[in-house]
Amino acid sequence: MSAAERRRFLAPLALAQFICSFAGSNMNVMINDITKDLDTTVAGVQATITLFLLTMAILMIPCSKLTDRFGRKRCFIWGLALYGVGAVLSAIAPGLGVLILGNSLLEGVGTALLIPPVYILTTLAFSDLTSRAKAFGVISGMGGIGAAAGPLIGGVITTAISWRAAFIFQAAIIVLIILLSRRVVDPLPADPTRPFDATGAVLSAVGMFFVVFGILQADNDVALMAALLVAGAAFLVWFFVHVRRRERAGREPLLSLGLFRNRTSNLALVTQNIQWLLLMGTSFVVAVFLQTVRGYDAIETGVIFTAATLGVLGSSLAAERLARRYSQKRLIAAGFVIAAAGIVLLLALLGASERVIAFGPGLLLIGIGLGTMLTPSVNVVQSAFPEAQQGEISGLSRSASNLGSSFGTAIAGTILVSELGSGNDSYVVAMIVLGAFALVGLGAALRLPGGSAHPEPAAEVTAPRVAAPR
């Protein structure tokens, strides 16, 4: 594949990851405008954002399995179309219910359909680890930039036009991606006979939904929160029991338990989850604090996130050079250290100045840290398995990342929203919680095997396979 062909292939895939990540964070700076226009509350908008991220997470694994049955490019296009419809519906929403339908559900389902093909097609198109690492660097970098730039772009559009125009912007980008996707070729044929584990899909989705929805109830009803968390855990246990029975019967499950026998991949999945938890959690907490406590408008709030965007962009652009000099483990660990330092700086400068610029240095460090480790984590996970398992591991990888995003908005956001009237106190607690997660991520990164700048080839991995696609 020539350099020009590589660019044409990656352009729609990277842009798709950008717009989906953008959608997860751009609403953070529109909260005041949406609450006034739709006569709702900050908690209502938080629930809308969290449900969008959660919908992606709970459907990512089932949708990744459907790519084998219907074809990767076909699912990609279907997802784009559904996302575009959701964006238009969100733009004309008369109330919170329609916004949830368009943004949380249609855009969420569309994203779950289109994101797994992005990573599966990239893995199949780039067979050697060096070119694959470069491709993942472009896609993951665009994802990080989309999430970091979401508040800035959303703030500019909201202030200059309206929050509704931000959804029209998303729909326009979707049309562009569809046009650019005409030259993308699926290297593997679809297999309509491929079985689909519908029971497993329902059990996993219900389990994850109850867990995240339970977290959102923390400031309303502790008893309800506990009941939902217990119910979620019970459904997830039921899911794993179901998967084990299905495997023992020789039938293909939704997700092979063999994927969890790879220690390196497990640890990298933890780092992926926490990276997106930090990114989305910080974005929500800082954006809401600046608007509701400090009184800044959408453009002022969005502009300060330029620091995070520049941090992600700079470290992502340096990803290829850094990967040649340092091991994946070292880059991921360094990223968590830098991100944790950014959280400390955000807290340290909180009382130093009332000006929004005081948040810049901390957001810059968080952006640099996350940009440094996003690509290595993805590359470690995807490269740990052979091509036959790319559909499964891609879905699991994206689900872990999006579950982290929903956890970040749900956990840190709930802490902040529950005590907005307390001023700085709830913000400080929320950021301390995010800092604690950063340390957990660092611990997982330090347990990753050391070694060269690239992970071991997938062919050397001995994780068992179940009903590999033909």
Query: Is residue 136 scored above 50 in pLDDT?
Result: yes
Same-domain pairing of 120 and 220: no
Query: Is residue 454 scored above 50 in pLDDT?
Result: no
Same-domain pairing of 175 and 52: yes
- Please report whether residue 469 resides in a domain: no
Question: How confident is the model at residue 422, as a pLDDT?
Answer: 58
Same-domain pairing of 214 and 259: no
Strands in 299-454 per DSSP E: none
- Please report whether residue 470 resides in a domain: no
User: pLDDT by residue (tens digit) across 182-210?
Assistant: 888 887 788 888 888 899 989 988 998 88
**Any alpha helices (H) in 260-359, and if so which ranges?**
263-292, 298-304, 306-317, 319-325, 328-348
The domain of 243 spans 197-253
Question: How confident is the model at residue 116, as a pLDDT?
Answer: 85
Closest Cα to residue 398, out of 21, 46, 84, 7? 21
- Please report whether residue 117 resides in a domain: yes
> ∠ CA(356), CA(362), CA(368), 5° rounding?
130
Same-domain pairing of 53 and 91: yes
Same-domain pairing of 273 and 240: no
Domain closes at, from 205, 222, 253: 253
Alpha-carbon distance of 219 to 427, in angstroms, equals 15
Same-domain pairing of 202 and 324: no
The mean per-residue pLDDT over the stretch 264-268 comes to 89
Domain closes at, from 253, 274, 301: 253
Within 10 angstroms of residue 452's Cβ, the number of other Cβ atoms is: 11
Question: How confident is the model at residue 211, as a pLDDT?
Answer: 87
- Please report whether residue 38 resides in a domain: yes
**Any alpha helices (H) in 106-162, and if so which ranges?**
108-125, 129-160
Query: Is residue 114 scored above 80 in pLDDT?
Result: yes
Question: How confident is the model at residue 457, as a pLDDT?
Answer: 41
Same-domain pairing of 248 and 268: no
Question: How confident is the model at residue 137, as a pLDDT?
Answer: 74
| Residue 249: C-alpha distances to residues 240, 242, 391, 466 (Å) | 14, 11, 22, 11
Look up residue 341 and give its amino acid: A
- Please report whether residue 72 resides in a domain: yes
- Please report whether residue 462 resides in a domain: no
Question: How confident is the model at residue 304, as a pLDDT?
Answer: 84
pTM of the full predicted structure? 0.77
CATH number of 22's domain: 1.20.1250.20
Query: Is residue 456 scored above 50 in pLDDT?
Result: no
Same-domain pairing of 336 and 446: yes
Question: How confident is the model at residue 26, as a pLDDT?
Answer: 84
Same-domain pairing of 132 and 263: yes
* Position 467 confidence tier, pLDDT thresholds 50, 70, 90: very low
Question: How confident is the model at residue 261, as a pLDDT?
Answer: 84
Alpha-carbon distance of 55 to 380, in angstroms, equals 25
Is residue 122 a contact partner of residue 136, using CB atoms and an 8 Å limit?
yes
User: pLDDT by residue (tens digit) across 224-239?
Assistant: 888 999 999 999 999 9
Same-domain pairing of 308 and 398: yes
- Please report whether residue 313 resides in a domain: yes
Is residue 82 a contact partner of residue 357, using CB atoms and an 8 Å limit?
no
- Please report whether residue 192 resides in a domain: no
Same-domain pairing of 208 and 157: no
| Structural domain count, the chain | 2
Tokens of 161: 């036009």
Look up residue 33 and give its amino acid: D
Domain closes at, from 253, 270, 296: 253
Same-domain pairing of 89 and 205: no
